[in-house]
Amino acid sequence: MESGISRRAVVGAGIAALGAAPAHTQTSSGQVGVGVIGVGLRSGAHLKALAQLRSESKVTALCDLESARMAKAAANLPAKPEMYTDYRELLKDKNVSAVVIVTPGYLHHEMTLAALRAGKDVMLEKPMALNYREAVDIVRETRKTGRIVCVGMQRRYSKGDTEIRRLVESGAIGPVKFINCEEYRNDWNPQTAKVLDKKTGKMVSWRMLSWAAGSSELEFSIHAFAMVTSIVNSPLIRLAASGGVVHYKERDTRDVSSVLVDFANGVRLNYAFTCFARGGSKLLIIGDNGMIRREGGKLFISKGGGALQPAPFTDESDDGAEVRMYREFFQNVRERKPSPLSPEAALEPSKIAFGADISIRENRIVTAKDFPAV
Ligand SMILES: NC(=O)c1ccc[n+]([C@@H]2O[C@H](COP(=O)([O-])OP(=O)(O)OC[C@H]3O[C@@H](n4cnc5c(N)ncnc54)[C@H](O)[C@@H]3O)[C@@H](O)[C@H]2O)c1
Going residue by residue through the chain, which has 374 residues, state the pLDDT in tens, using 9 for 90 and above: 233 333 333 333 333 333 344 454 566 678 999 999 999 999 999 999 999 999 999 999 999 999 999 999 999 999 999 999 999 999 999 999 999 999 999 999 999 999 999 999 999 999 999 999 999 999 999 999 999 999 999 999 998 899 999 999 999 999 999 999 999 999 999 999 999 999 999 999 999 999 999 999 999 999 999 999 999 999 999 999 999 999 998 899 999 999 999 999 999 999 999 999 987 899 999 999 999 999 878 899 999 889 999 987 755 555 589 999 999 999 999 999 999 999 999 999 999 999 999 999 999 999 999 999 99
Q: What domains can you pick out in the chain, each with its CATH number?
A: 8-125 (3.40.50.720), 156-314+343-370 (3.30.360.10)
**How far is ligand 1, taken at its centre, from the CA of residue 256, in Å?**
23
Widest CA span in the chain: 61
Q: What are phi and psi of 299, to 5 degrees?
A: -115, 135
- Rounded to 10°, the helix 159-169/222-232 angle is 20
Cα separations in angstroms, 79 against 31, 51, 58, 72, 73 = 14, 12, 9, 13, 11
Instruction: Pick the residue whose CA is nearest to atom 33 on ligand 1.
Output: 64
Task: Determine if ligand 1 sits within 6 Å of the CB of residue 39.
Answer: yes
**How far is ligand 1, taken at its centre, from the CA of residue 3, in Å?**
34
Instruction: Pick the residue whose CA is nearest to atom 21 on ligand 1.
Output: 40
Our CA angle for 207, 209, 212, nearest 5°, is 75
Most ligand 1 atoms within 8 A of CB, residue of 36, 39, 41 to mutate: 41
- Helix (H), strand (E) at residue 236: strand 236-244
Task: Determine if ligand 1 sits within 6 Å of the CB of residue 285.
Answer: no
Task: Determine if ligand 1 sits within 6 Å of the CB of residue 63.
Answer: yes
Question: What does pTM read for this prediction?
Answer: 0.92
pLDDT confidence of residue 10:
32
Q: What percent of the residues of the chain are helix, what percent strand, and what percent coil, each to the nearest 5?
A: 40, 25, 35
Q: Which atom of ligand 1 is nearest to the CA of 154?
A: 1
C-alpha closest to that of 270 among 358, 181, 164: 181
Residue 127: cis peptide before it, omega within 30 degrees of 0: yes
Task: Determine if ligand 1 sits within 6 Å of the CB of residue 193.
Answer: yes
Q: Which atom of ligand 1 is nearest to the CA of 189?
A: 15
Instruction: Pick the residue whose CA is nearest to atom 25 on ligand 1.
Output: 38
d(CA 230, CA 228): 5
Burial 234-261 (b: 16+ CB within 10 A, else e): eebebbbbebeeeeeeebebbbbbbbbb
d(CA 324, CA 328): 6
Most ligand 1 atoms within 8 A of CB, residue of 88, 102, 185 to mutate: 102
pLDDT confidence of residue 361:
98
d(CA 232, CA 349): 11
